Structure 1
Amino acid sequence: MDGSATRPRREEYPDLTRAAVVDAARRLFAELGYYRTTVQEIAKLSRVSPATVYAQCGGKQGLLRSLMDSWTRAPMVDRSLRESLTADDADLVFRTLTTAYFEITKEWGDVIQVVLDVAPHDKDSQAVLATAGRRHSRSLTAICRRLEDIGALRDDVDARLAARIITYYYGLDGLLRTREVFGWSLERAHEWLFGRASAAVLRSRSGAGD
C-alpha cells in the first residue's frame, strides 16, 4: 500500500506549500526576470505569506537553487546517461545524448535562461551555474569515453576533445542560443546542432577518420 495514502494531511501541507512557492517563483522569474521579481509577488501568487517564502524556500536565492537542482537532477539526465553508457551503436549513443539536451532545454529552458542571466551579477548564482557545469561535464565526459571505447570517434578526436566539441555546440544553453540567433524553433535548432556536432566528433560510416 502506498504510504502517502495514509500520511496525515498536515504532514503533506509543507510539501504542497513549497511546491506552490517554487512554481510561482519559476513563473515570475520567466515573466519578469529574477531581479524584478519580489518575494511579495511570489508570496501573493502562491497564496502564502512572505515569511513562508523565506522560511520554507530560503527566499529568492533559495528558490533559484531549488529550480537549478530540479533542472540538473531531472530524471531524464540519469536515464540518458545510463542508456548512453550501455549502448554499442555510436549513432544511438549520440542521438540519446543530444536528445537529452533537447528534452532538458524544452522542459527547463526558462530556468536555464534565468540562471545564465543572473550569474554574472550574483556570487550565489555563479555557484549555482558552476555546480550545473560540473554535473554536466562529468556526465558528458563519461559518455564521450564510451564513444571512444566503442571506436566511434574520428581519428583526430579523443574523448576529451569530443567533450569540448559537444560542449561548444550544445553546452548548457547551446539550443537556446541557436534558437535566438537564427529565429528557429527549438526542434530545428536541435537538428542543426546535431548534424554539425556529430560530423565533428563521430567517425564516418565508411570508417574514414574525416
Structure 2
Amino acid sequence: MNPPDEQGRAATNRRQLQAAQTRRDIILAATRLFTRQGYAHTSVTDIAREAGVAVQTIYSSVGSKARLVTAMLDEVDAISGVPQLGAEIMRSTDASQIIDLQTRLTRQLNERCWDILAGLRSAAQIDQTIAAAYADGQARHADGARRGAERIAKLGALRPGTDADTAATTIAVLLSIDTWVQLINEHGWSFDRAEKWLSSSLRTLLLVEAA
C-alpha cells in the first residue's frame, strides 16, 4: 500500500491530467464551432454543450470566449513541446541539428494539433477574429524561423551568399502549415517521410555542407 504522501501526489497528478484534458476538450469544441458557424455566432453556452461541460467550467478552465482564441495557440504550443524544442534550438551549436529540431518542432505542431490548426486555418477565411488569431500563429512561426536562422548565421554555417533574412524566409516557407498540408493530405506522405525530406532540403539549401 502506498504511503499517504504518495497517494496524495498521485491524486493531484490525476486531477491535473483531468483538468488539462478538460481544457483541451473545450478548446477543440470551440475550434469546431468557430469553424462551422463563426466566432460571432458561437456562444459560450454552445461551446459548453459541444464539449459536454458546464458553462462555469469554461470560465474557470480557460476564461472568456475571447480568451479561447488565444488559448488555442497556447494549447498548440504546449501540446507540441514548442518551449522545450525552442530552448534546444537556442542551445545547439550544430547547424544541422538546428535544422532538424526546427523541422521536428513543426512536425509536432502539425501531427499533434492537426484538428486545432485545420479548424483555425479554415475559420480564418470567414471570421475576422479567428483570422487575427491565425495571423498571430503565423507570426509566431515566422519568429521561430528567424531565431533559428540567426542562430545558424551566428555559427557561420550559412552557405555563401545566403544571409539570415533569406534563411529565415526559406525555413518559414518550407516548414509552413501549407507545406505540411500539401505533403500529408494532398500527396499522401507520412510524417516520417515529410520530416526527413524537409530537413534534408533545408540543409542542402542553407548550410555550407549538407549533412
TM-score, with structure 2 as normaliser: 0.75
1:155–1:203 CA contact under 8 A, matched in 2: yes
Decide whether aligned partners of structure 1 residues 115 and 75 sit closer, same or farther in structure 2, where only a CA change above 3 A counts: closer
- Cα distance between partner residues in 2 of 1:80 and 1:25: 23
SS in 2 for 1:35: helix
1:111-150 to 2 correspondences below 5 Å: 111-150=116-155
Deviates further, 67-76 or 164-173: 67-76
1:160 matches 2:165:
yes
- 2:56 is aligned to 52
TM-aligned CA distance change 1:33 to 1:178, over 3 Å: farther
Residue 22 of structure 2 corresponds to which residue in structure 1? 20
- Contact kept, 8 Å, 1:72 with 1:132, in 2: the verdict is no
Is it true that 1:190 corresponds to 2:195 in the alignment?
A: yes
Matched residue count? 194
Paired residues of 1:133 and 1:172 also in contact (CA < 8 A):
no
In structure 2, what is the Cα distance between the partners aligned to 1:41 and 1:119?
20
The CA distance in 2 between the partners of 1:148 and 1:195, in whole Å, is: 18
1:166-185 → structure 2 map (5 Å cutoff):
166-185=171-190
Scaled by the length of structure 1, the TM-score of the pair is 0.75
- Partner residue in 2 for 1:34: 35
- CA deviations 1:51-108 (Å, max 9, x no partner) are 437755434x543431222113557212222212222222111111111111221111
Structure 2 gap segments, 5+ residues each = none
Task: Quote the sequence identity (%).
Answer: 21
> Is there any run of 5+ residues in structure 1 with no aligned partner, and where?
none
Structure 1 residues 179 and 205: alpha-carbon distance in aligned structure 2, compared to 1, 3 A threshold: closer
Seen in structure 2, the aligned counterparts of structure 1 residues 41 and 149 have a Cα distance that, compared at 3 Å, is same
CA distance in 1, matches of 2:29, 2:176: 24
Structure 2 letter corresponding to 1:52? Q
CA distance in 1, matches of 2:27, 2:139: 25
Match of 1:203 among 195, 204, 208: 208
* Cα distance in structure 1, aligned partners of 2:142 and 2:71: 20
